[in-house]
Amino acid sequence: MTDQPVELDKHRGMIAQQATELRRLRADVEANAKALREREQALEAHLLASPAQNWVEAAEKAHYLLTLFAATSAALDPRRQRLIADVLKDFAVLSDGAVG
């Protein structure tokens, strides 16, 4: 008997190893998706907590909503993609110069 652990994956067939790896990857993806949903909920709660105090905060809220919209099928139109990109650039430029 040895003190070294036996790596069981090495003793299984290639198909079983691949199935195990796929299960592990899927579990990681599901955990990451859950964590992302939780962070999105926290962000949305923060954004909803109070009205924007200045243009920069309002632009941040609009930026978040535009980003959500950009991920939908309605935003696949190239004109909408360009409009979203232009508005986000405008927010960045205007936010840099804004003072409350």
Task: Give residue-wise pLDDT tens across range 52-63.
Answer: 999 889 999 999
Q: Note the pTM of the prediction, 2 decimals.
A: 0.65
| Segments in 1-100 forming alpha helices (H) | 14-49, 55-70, 78-97
Instruction: Please report the pLDDT score of residue 95 as a whole number.
Output: 79
How many distinct helices (H) and strands (E) make up the chain?
3, 0
On the CB side of 63, CA atoms within 13 Å amount to 16
User: Which two tokens mark 51?
Assistant: 């009205």
On the CB side of 37, CA atoms within 13 Å amount to 6
User: Which two tokens mark 93?
Assistant: 């430029």
What is the per-residue pLDDT across 75-94, written as a single tens digit (0 to 9) for each? 999 999 999 999 999 988 88
Q: For the chain, what is the radius of gyration of the CA atoms? A: 23
